[in-house]
Chain A
Amino acid sequence: MTDTDNDFELVNSFISGNQAAFNKIVLKYQQKIYWHARRMTGNHLDADEVVQEVLIVLYNKLKDFQFKSSLYTWIYKITSTRSINYLKKRNLRQIFSFDDLEAKSVSSSEDVIKDLETKEKLDRLEKALQKVPLRQREVFIMRNFDEMSYEEISEITGITTGGLKANYFHAMKKIMEIMQNNEN
């Protein structure tokens, strides 16, 4: 049985009222949702919030899913939209000083990464990622970490492959420059 067939069965089973099928879908995709949200938001607490928002949307909208794309692409689309919306709200909260991003990024006790060296490397990357525009950041993450093709990214973001490549080049140069400057 292929992965898509399995997803199809799980979705149909959930629509028929089987709550365990929803749990299986979550178990299958939660790490991908988490890591996209984490790289977009730059910290664990915000990523956790985005994961919960995505699951709520997923639960409410899954009955309308018609398999026009793969379930993974559809979930990724929701995650991408929720992450961007969350970041826009967070920026607003920061403007009105309701939120302290620095406090979130240094709160290591709440993190899921236990290896200190990896955590330091990830911190440096997350800080650099936060300095590039949202759309560039998103393409950079999808291409480098989720290893998606430009066509897949285009389907999710609605941006042409040419536009995506331009965003990717800008992001790559800027992030490399920031990280090299931080090392020196």
Chain B
Amino acid sequence: MKTNNKIIEYLDDQLSQAEKASFENELKASPGLQSEFQQYKKFKENLSQLRDIEVDESYFIETIPKFRTRQSVLKRYGVVPKLTLSLSTLLAVALVFVLVFSRSNKVAIPNKVVVVDSSGVDFSTLLDPSSDNFNLNYISSNEASHYDSLLNSMITKALDLSPDELSYVAPSNNSDLTSLLQNINEKEADNIYNEVLKQKILGR
């Protein structure tokens, strides 16, 4: 056991008679221990002076009337704080939910990314259903080829691939985007449109 723990136990009257006697012998033999012991003893004496503090009795006379007043207020308006607490908790949960959900959607489709092609058209506007450039049905084969090559260069750059390696991940035929769009039936197009629209609204 550490020496100062023993001092504390001694002053706290937690030692047996035998332990007490042994500690007292140790104390007589060690001036260092005596000095440490005196510090703890003085500290304990100072603490005991703060045990029974004289106070202003008028405060304690007021305790019961104050409690009765508070009790009657609680009885009268007890439901209001509870209702306020419930509503604010509900509001906070809803706010956190919206923020978290909204943030996750923003990660899925970044709205602020601007990719400009050689003709000056912002590529991201093609994904924006509210944009004038958003037109899935009337995209020409030239435009499709152009955007296919643009996509390929973006993929190459993002994945740090050589042109040969690109063939493993990118479509080899430049008309794939056109054929993909042509093969989409109306129901699928509706679903894609609704999904894009939903992501767009929640993403903002």
Chain A interface (Cβ within 8 Å of chain B)? 23, 26-27, 30-31, 34-35, 48, 51-52, 55-56, 59, 112-115, 118, 121-122, 125, 143-145, 165, 168-169, 172-173, 176, 179-180
Contacts and interface: CB of A to CB of B under 8 A. Distances in A.
Given A34-B63, A56-B71, A112-B59, 15 more contacts: A30-B63, A31-B60, A51-B63, A52-B70, A55-B63, A56-B67, A112-B56, A113-B53, A113-B56, A114-B55, A121-B49, A143-B12, A165-B14, A168-B8, A173-B4
Contacts of A180: 39, 43
A124 B12 CA distance: 22
Contact of B70 (A31, A56, A179): A56
A26 B63 CA distance: 9
Contacts of B59: 48, 112
A56 B43 CA distance: 37
A51 B12 CA distance: 29
A48 B56 CA distance: 14
Contacts of B74: 56
A144 B47 contact: yes
B50 A121 contact: yes
Contacts of B195: none
B79 interface: no
A23 B56 contact: no
A82 to B, nearest CB: 14
Interface residues of B, number: 29
B130 interface: no
A125 B47 contact: yes
B36 to A, nearest CB: 11
Contacts of A56: 67, 70-71, 74
B67 A179 contact: no
Contacts of B66: 52
Contacts of A173: 4, 8
Given A26-B63, A56-B67, A112-B56, A176 B43 contact: yes
Contact of A179 (B43, B54, B71): B43
Contacts of A172: 8, 40
A55 B70 CA distance: 10
A176 B40 contact: yes
B113 interface: no
A122 B48 CA distance: 11
A47 B154 CA distance: 65
Contacts of B43: 176, 179-180
Contacts of A118: 50, 53-54
A151 to B, nearest CB: 12
B82 interface: no
B64 to A, nearest CB: 5
B136 to A, nearest CB: 49
A26 B55 contact: no
B16 interface: no
Contacts of B70: 52, 56
Nearest to A179: B43
Contacts of B56: 112-114
Interface string B1-19: 0001100110010100000
A55 B53 contact: no
A70 B91 CA distance: 44
B67 A55 contact: yes
Contacts of A27: 60, 64
7 contacts: A27-B64, A55-B67, A114-B55, A122-B53, A125-B47, A143-B12, A144-B51
